[in-house]
């Protein structure tokens, strides 16, 4: 996190006591990527807001160098073998699908941005969040970083402008 961001809440996946896999997420199949992003984001939002409520001008920024590799591999194998691909895989192949789910569930009305940084995923996600806040597109931003080649580790932070900027 940079000195220009005020941290409202944070969460990780997994945290002590978490099961090996995140809870299933309706509409998302084959891969645990979107369920993991949703689980860590929900945990962070609950810590920051308590529960879904009135609409908030909160952006969602998802930063992941590799994205949902498991779904991409599954679709590629199906295409190679001439197998029919289910419509849910088309829907979840768009990285912002899980962000849209979160925005609808939590009444978040800010922009949704997905990045695939070559460097530090958290730093890039926070830089995008800061630009959105500075441009007046949102009041706060939920930054979710999904690390690694598998759906094994994620971090979420809810940030806003420092009090003196607000």
pLDDT (0 to 100) of residue 166 = 46
Per-residue pLDDT 10s for the chain (166 aa) are 443 468 999 999 999 999 988 999 988 877 888 899 999 999 999 999 999 999 999 999 999 987 777 666 666 777 788 888 777 666 566 678 899 999 999 999 999 999 999 999 999 999 999 999 999 999 999 999 998 665 589 999 999 987 764 4
pLDDT at 101: 93
pTM of the model: 0.86
Give CA–CA dist 108/143, Å, rounded. Answer: 13
Dihedral of alpha carbons 4, 157, 118, 128, sign: negative
Give the model's pLDDT for residue 2: 44
- 78 Ramachandran zone, left/alpha/beta (phi>0; psi -120 to 50): alpha
Task: Give, as one character, the DSSP assignment of residue 108.
Answer: B
When the candidates are 3.40.50.300, 3.40.50.280, 3.40.50.2300, 3.40.47.10, the CATH number that belongs to 6-160 is 3.40.47.10
pLDDT number for residue 74:
63
Domain ranges in the chain? 6-160
């Amino acid at each position: 996190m940079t000195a220009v961001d005020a941290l409202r809440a944070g969460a990780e996946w997994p945290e002590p006591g978490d099961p090996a896999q995140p809870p299933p997420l309706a509409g998302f199949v084959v891969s645990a990527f979107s369920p993991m992003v949703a689980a860590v984001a929900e945990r962070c939002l609950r810590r920051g807001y308590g529960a879904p409520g009135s609409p908030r001008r909160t952006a969602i920024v998802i930063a992941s160098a590799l994205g949902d590799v498991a779904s991409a591999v599954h679709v590629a194998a199906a295409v190679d073998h001439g197998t029919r691909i289910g419509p849910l895989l088309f829907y979840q192949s768009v990285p912002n699908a899980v962000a849209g789910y979160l925005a609808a569930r939590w009444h978040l009305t800010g922009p949704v941005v997905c990045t695939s940084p070559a460097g530090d995923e958290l730093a890039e996600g926070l830089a995008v969040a800061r630009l959105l806040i500075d441009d007046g597109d949102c009041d706060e931003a939920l930054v979710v970083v999904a690390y690694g080649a598998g759906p094994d580790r994620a971090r979420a932070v809810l940030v806003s402008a420092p009090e003196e900027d607000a």
